A and B are shown apart, each in its own frame.
Chain A
């Protein structure tokens, strides 16, 4: 693999890992496992964990995908591997 492509791929993998950590924390974390820790924060008749499980995580997923697309398209350009 050329050095440039290698650097590009590593940057991509790093970005994926960061995104997936956030992905897991909001859904499996706040929505399920860590819900008891958030039980003190009230949201409309229930707690923050319930909100993350039913709506919050979906909103975060949306932000994640658009952020990744934007960041990657920029990265493609920086490394000169974008489509002409």
Chain B
């Protein structure tokens, strides 16, 4: 059986499984559509939340970004896990006690203002749609690879699949489907990593293999440092970027994690307040299984790629074009070339492909000596690394098929969760809560599905010019959530002082400054060449657009505090509401808001 058929088989079988579960657990009423009737155990909920949370960014993109940058991209690892501490300590139990369906309902009630609810809906839509763009990128790459077509067509096919999949059921269908997706994605991520770790270090646990030693007894990371510096690249384990930027970037990802509506919504679905606390922990357990493996995947793949390009050692001869074209060990390069995401060119016509950093002075000297005319591995999209990893390590065909299925599971589960958050924001908060309060349940469900379709179309259009690799696009979404939603939620629980006007002013200020900063650096609506600054030379010192969310959040807090101080005090009944949210006793099941 050839690889193409094998991939189809794995992807097809996993899809059949998800769709089967979705049909089996189809949502009937509105309350089931949004929150699955609250019968979900913390461990089950944790697993589903982990699948919901770990997206194309975590599965497909993150290890690639770490692989090519090393230590500096540790921010993704700390940021996307550290946010769960904030979520568990500062938000989840209180929002569960509050007992409504959506994040914006809490903001609307706590800040006794329909305007606040609307502003929250807008913030939520902006962050979620940006996030969906990143998912679509990942879906496009995964489909592009396994159908062996251009990533653009992969994107369009992926969009259709995501849509068909997401409209099927609500949260209940999604919850059990996501448990299945978690199992598929974690298996798919771990198996190749175990094989590769065994090959390189003899240790079957990749997380330990990363700090283990190679056959020669040399530590893996020391060997990697040696090889990459030989080729003129920055040392893998050393810090190169600005410390301030790294701190702010990590903080943005953390705050954003705790501010993303589709993740917060999950904690409305556990039976009790104490379960909300446990559930956040279980979620992180399931996430950590992947996140502890990811840095090993990145480092080991980087080592494998470097050794493949320099089969005779970094001081010897580079790999020949002939070998790339004929040796089965290099067959992955030809397959990935078809997606347009990998490319090489024998610039100096010597029949060899020299892969090195042509901006490095030492390597320029070596190039001049040997007649090289620049780096010849001209294109290596970071987002392909994880999907290509099993092929790079020459693992069996079924592993490759499994990884394709896992990547799609990650992207699909998150896209579905986000679309659910978007559709509930539009139909439940915007239409039913504001514009047409007398809407029937049936038309509410219809509106929910139409808004899902609209969100996909917008995401595909904006995704045609993605503002970065999938994980970077997703990082922008986190910045937006950090600057807008999280501060409002936290202040709503921890301060009785913040009033309606303060909250609205804070959210708007946070969202607007962050969006402005992103557009100034990434182009207006991500359209190329409309940017004024670049992330290489940002407007404010070393602070890149992906790191601005933390500053946006600070602006939000400050504005809300100052404006609240200047306007009318919070009424007594709202202070009572805040006090009741703070204690678990009396938590009923969540009720539908109006």
Contact = CB atoms under 8 A, between A and B. Distances in A.
Interface of A: 1, 5, 8-9, 12-13, 16, 19-20, 23, 27-28, 31-33, 35, 43-47, 50-51, 53-55, 57-59, 61-62, 64-66, 68-69, 72-73, 76, 80-84
B221 A61 contact: no
B89 A83 contact: no
Given A32-B243, A44-B221, A55-B207, A81 B585 contact: yes
B229 interface: no
B524 interface: no
A5 B90 contact: no
Nearest to A28: B247
Q: Would you list the 6 A-B pairs with minimal beta carbon distance, nearest first? A: A45-B219, A44-B211, A45-B221, A53-B74, A69-B277, A45-B222
B220 A44 contact: yes
18 contacts: A31-B250, A33-B247, A43-B211, A44-B212, A45-B222, A46-B237, A51-B211, A53-B71, A55-B207, A57-B77, A58-B291, A65-B281, A65-B284, A66-B281, A69-B277, A69-B280, A80-B585, A82-B274
A83 B210 CA distance: 45
Given A32-B246, A44-B219, A45-B222, A54 B84 contact: no
B210 A44 contact: yes
A12 B63 CA distance: 37
A12 to B, nearest CB: 8
A52 to B, nearest CB: 9
A81 B585 CA distance: 5
B145 interface: no
Interface residues of B, number: 53
Contacts of B272: 83
A50 B88 CA distance: 26
Interface stretch (B51-59, B121-129, B160-168, B576-584): B576-584
Q: Find the residue from B77, B88, B583 having the highest chain A CB count within 10 A.
A: B583
Nearest to A15: B89
B85 A81 contact: no
Contacts of B277: 65, 68-69, 72-73
Contacts, number: 143
B584 A27 contact: no
Main SS of chain B's interface residues? Answer: helix
A15 to B, nearest CB: 8
B152 interface: no
A65 B84 contact: yes
B582 A69 contact: no
A51 B207 CA distance: 10
Interface of B: 71, 74, 77-78, 81-82, 84-85, 88-90, 93, 207, 210-213, 218-223, 225, 237, 239, 243, 246-247, 250-251, 254, 272-274, 277-278, 280-281, 284-285, 288, 291-292, 295, 494, 579, 582-587
Contacts of B218: 45
Given A5-B583, A44-B211, A62 B281 contact: yes
A8 B396 CA distance: 57
A23 B295 CA distance: 20
Contacts of A76: 273-274, 584-585
B73 to A, nearest CB: 10
B295 A55 contact: yes
Given A27-B82, A45-B211, A59-B288, 8 more contacts: A20-B85, A33-B247, A46-B222, A54-B74, A58-B292, A61-B81, A69-B281, A82-B584
A20 B175 CA distance: 30
Nearest to A1: B579
Nearest to A63: B281
B251 A28 contact: yes
